[in-house]
């Protein structure tokens, strides 16, 4: 593959060649072997290093050179490979025949054009000490990933994961989970590799510089391409979702909605009576969607007024989150998830209600709203009714409006 033409230090034009690394950055033996093989073909790694798995090379007279990877003093990171070695380290290396080329990941890459040059590492036990340092950094990465990608989201949602999964769609949830697992398992894999390498060095064994990198050369590039494409796709999906949310594209105004929701709405609290939606600016919408684990889902937000008698109206907020999941046991778990998500500072359980459904629990959420979660078969409903009574006593007690909701899902 040919690439960009650039001007070298002595103003001679040199083309840059790109080669996809056949092994991961942490495969010390594979990387050294591969770079040395490329040098015998006339390709020499430049100080531009690597980008997205592609190495930058110049073409020169083919010859035997030695490449060695040396663990870096400071951690590399995913965005930039980090700094080069300390000045003293470079001074000593150059005096003893080794030039620093570039950093890749956790390792500095050194090169020597001299066949009789002494090795970078002449004491395997000492080399094992630097590998231990890299191992510790990797363990720290694993811990960080576990905390931020797994524990933090769970703690934030008080351990709820089913409801967030239904809201973001199960397929997207598992797609995200697969990426999370990859980013957690990646440092774990590296940690295991470094541990094996360190133990090998501690036994006094030398690294295998003749490692056959060609054997599984297709795996790394294919893996890189899949990961890059998956991350791009994930990013596009997230942006598209944000865009939809900002523009409220999924929300249908209730005044335009012609569907028939499978649960009670405010109009059902006094059937046949005068009913009027009250515009609130942010409410009176319905979102409806289907999911592989829950074919029917609704988010219903309604502010309306119903004239229950000639001289009495009921004006309030009627919110329902409704799901028909695949299995009754899942319905119970979803109901528990809703309660977990509301479990903040002032959360309080009121108690189980006898409404003629499989499960009915009432509680007060963190903003002092009375809420219920109902389960009947594979149906789950989380609902709230907040009456704006304007100083009067509420027309409905909690048990009454809860019964209306429960009757609608039986």
Partner 1 sequence: MPKKSMELLTETMFYVLMAFCKGAMCGIDVAEFIEKRTKGRILIGPATLYTILGKFEKEKYIVEVQVEGRKRTYEITEKGRLAYTEEVARLKQCVEDAKAAAFERGDLDEWK
CA dihedral 113, 117, 123, 124 (to 10 degrees): 40
Binding residue (CB under 8 A) for partner 1 from 1, 7, 80, 95: 95
Per CB under 8 A, which of residues 55..94 are in contact with partner 1? 68, 70, 87-93
118 lies in the binding site for partner 1 (CB under 8 A): yes
Per CB under 8 A, which of residues 311..370 are in contact with partner 1? none
* Burial class (CB within 10 angstroms; exposed 0-12, middle 13-18, buried 19+) of 114: exposed
If the CB atoms of residues 127 and 265 are measured against partner 1, the closer one turns out to be: 127
Shortest spacing between CB 204 and partner 1, in angstroms = 10
Q: Which helix (H) or strand (E) holds 200?
A: helix 170-202
H runs (alpha helix) in 46-123: 87-95
Shortest spacing between CB 119 and partner 1, in angstroms = 5
Shortest spacing between CB 103 and partner 1, in angstroms = 14
Rounded to the nearest 5°, which phi and psi values hold at 196? Answer: -65, -40
Shortest spacing between CB 121 and partner 1, in angstroms = 5
Shortest spacing between CB 94 and partner 1, in angstroms = 8
Binding residue (CB under 8 A) for partner 1 from 34, 44, 98, 193: 98
How far is it, in rounded angstroms, from Cα 173 to Cα 237?
Answer: 12
Q: Residue with structure tokens 């649960």?
A: 263
On whether the CB atoms of residues 194 and 27 are closer than 8 A, the answer is: no
115 lies in the binding site for partner 1 (CB under 8 A): no
If the CB atoms of residues 112 and 321 are measured against partner 1, the closer one turns out to be: 112
E strand map for 42-141: 43-51, 54-59, 66-71, 99-104, 107-112
How far is it, in rounded angstroms, from Cα 320 to Cα 103?
Answer: 56
How far is it, in rounded angstroms, from Cα 47 to Cα 80?
Answer: 13
Shortest spacing between CB 58 and partner 1, in angstroms = 24
Binding residue (CB under 8 A) for partner 1 from 5, 10, 11, 122: 122
Distance linking the first and last C-alpha atoms of the chain: 67
52 lies in the binding site for partner 1 (CB under 8 A): no
213 lies in the binding site for partner 1 (CB under 8 A): no
Binding residue (CB under 8 A) for partner 1 from 4, 60, 74, 126: 126
Q: Residue with structure tokens 């030039």?
A: 99
Binding residue (CB under 8 A) for partner 1 from 52, 129, 147, 367: 129
Shortest spacing between CB 7 and partner 1, in angstroms = 28
Q: Residue with structure tokens 């798995």?
A: 53
Under the rule (CB under 8 A), what is the footprint of partner 1? 68, 70, 87-93, 95-96, 98, 118-123, 125-127, 129-130
């Amino acid at each position: 593959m040919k690439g960009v033409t650039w001007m070298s230090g002595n103003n001679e034009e040199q083309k840059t060649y790109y080669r996809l690394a056949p092994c991961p950055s942490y495969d010390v033996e594979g990387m050294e072997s591969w770079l040395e093989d490329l040098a015998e073909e006339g390709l020499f790694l430049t100080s531009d290093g690597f980008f997205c798995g592609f190495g930058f090379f110049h073409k020169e007279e083919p010859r035997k050179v030695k490449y060695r990877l040396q663990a870096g003093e400071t951690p590399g990171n995913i965005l930039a490979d980090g700094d080069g070695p300390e000045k003293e380290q470079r001074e000593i290396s150059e005096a003893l025949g080794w030039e620093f080329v570039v950093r890749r990941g956790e390792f500095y890459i050194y090169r020597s054009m001299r066949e009789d040059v002494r090795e970078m590492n002449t004491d395997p036990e000492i080399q094992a000490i630097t590998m231990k340092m890299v191992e510790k950094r990797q363990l720290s990465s694993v811990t960080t990933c576990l905390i931020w990608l797994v524990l933090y989201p769970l703690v934030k949602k008080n351990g709820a994961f089913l409801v967030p999964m239904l809201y973001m769609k199960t397929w997207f949830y598992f797609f995200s989970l697969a990426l999370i697992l990859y980013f957690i398992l990646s440092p774990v894999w590296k940690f295991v590799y470094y541990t094996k390498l360190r133990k090998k060095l501690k036994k006094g064994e030398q690294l295998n510089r003749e490692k056959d990198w060609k054997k599984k050369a297709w795996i790394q590039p294919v893996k890189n391409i899949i990961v890059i494409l998956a991350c791009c796709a994930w990013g596009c999906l997230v942006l598209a979702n944000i865009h939809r949310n900002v523009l409220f594209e999924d929300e249908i105004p209730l005044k335009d909605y012609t569907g028939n929701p499978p649960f009670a709405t405010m109009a059902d609290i006094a059937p046949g009576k005068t009913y009027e939606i009250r515009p609130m600016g942010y409410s009176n919408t319905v979102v409806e969607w289907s999911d592989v684990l829950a074919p029917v889902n609704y988010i219903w937000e309604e502010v309306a007024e119903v004239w229950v008698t000639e001289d009495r109206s009921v004006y309030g907020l009627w919110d329902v989150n409704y799901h028909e999941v695949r299995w009754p046991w899942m319905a119970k778990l979803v109901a528990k998830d809703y309660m977990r998500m509301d479990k903040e500072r002032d959360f309080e359980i009121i108690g189980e209600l006898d409404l003629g459904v499989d499960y009915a629990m009432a509680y007060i959420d963190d903003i002092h709203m009375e809420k219920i979660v109902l389960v009947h078969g594979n149906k789950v409903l989380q609902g709230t009714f907040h009456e704006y009574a304007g100083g009067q006593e509420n027309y409905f007690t909690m048990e009454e409006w809860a019964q209306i909701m429960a009757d609608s899902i039986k």
